[in-house]
């Protein structure tokens, strides 16, 4: 199970989108990154949108069941002779934290980055999976003791 860390961060993000303020990221104040999260069989899948971010600029960390994803989109390297006409793509640090439930196996997280999407696969811990328990009846006890 996944839990969001800060419901007010979503409100801030929506306010910034509506007002147009804060559309540029900042290195001093991380911006959130959109994600999708779902359960698929015996694992949770989380997909983060990080277009234009180099894989070496992405950091993943898990501490006490808190998953932290940080990514940095750096300005493109352009020659001095280039005059920028429009610069709308957000730059800077993007950050997201999720609380991971005790039922997830954080030691076996797999990460893949493809086409600007960081996909994490987190398996459900064996101890948390449903299991069938055999029930011994009185007749089976007699057979064991006989």
How many residues can be counted in the chain? 146
Q: Tell me, which fold does domain 2-12+24-77+88-145 have in CATH?
A: Immunoglobulin-like (2.60.40)
pLDDT of residue 87: 80
Residues with Cβ < 8 Å from 83, sequence gap 6 or more?
none
Q: Taking residues 88-103, what's their average pLDDT?
A: 88
Q: Are 67 and 98 in contact (CB under 8 A)?
A: yes
For 93-126, b/e burial (b = at least 16 CB within 10 A) is: bbbbbbebeeebbbeebeeeeeeeebebebbbbe
pLDDT digits (tens, 9 = 90+) for 34-59: 999 999 999 999 999 999 899 999 99
Closest CA to 46 of 103, 98, 108: 98
Give the span between the Cα atoms of 45 and 55, in whole angstroms.
19
Q: Tens digits of per-residue pLDDT, 8-37?
A: 555 565 565 555 554 444 444 556 689 999
> Per-residue pLDDT for 129 more than 70?
no
Q: Where are the domains of the chain?
A: 2-12+24-77+88-145
Q: What is the pLDDT of residue 141?
A: 54
Q: What is the pTM of this model?
A: 0.67
Q: What percent of the chain has pLDDT over 90?
A: 41
pLDDT band, residue 146 (cuts 50/70/90): very low
Residue entry with tokens 């007010």: 8
Interstrand relation of 92-100 and 2-4 (parallel, antiparallel or unpaired): antiparallel
């Amino acid at each position: 199970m996944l839990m969001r860390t800060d419901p007010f961060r979503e409100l801030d993000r929506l306010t910034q989108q509506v007002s147009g303020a804060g559309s540029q990221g900042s290195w001093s104040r991380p911006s959130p990154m959109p994600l999708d999260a779902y359960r698929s069989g015996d694992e949770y899948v989380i997909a983060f949108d990080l277009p234009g971010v180099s894989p070496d600029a992405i950091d993943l960390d898990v501490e006490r069941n808190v998953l932290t994803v940080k990514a940095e989109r750096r300005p493109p390297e352009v020659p001095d002779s280039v005059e920028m006409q429009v610069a709308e793509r957000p730059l800077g640090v993007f950050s997201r934290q999720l609380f991971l439930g005790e039922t997830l196996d954080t030691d076996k997280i797999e990460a893949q980055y493809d086409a600007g999407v960081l996909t994490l696969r987190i398996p459900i811990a064996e101890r948390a999976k449903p299991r069938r328990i055999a029930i011994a009846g009185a007749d089976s006890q007699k057979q064991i003791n006989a």
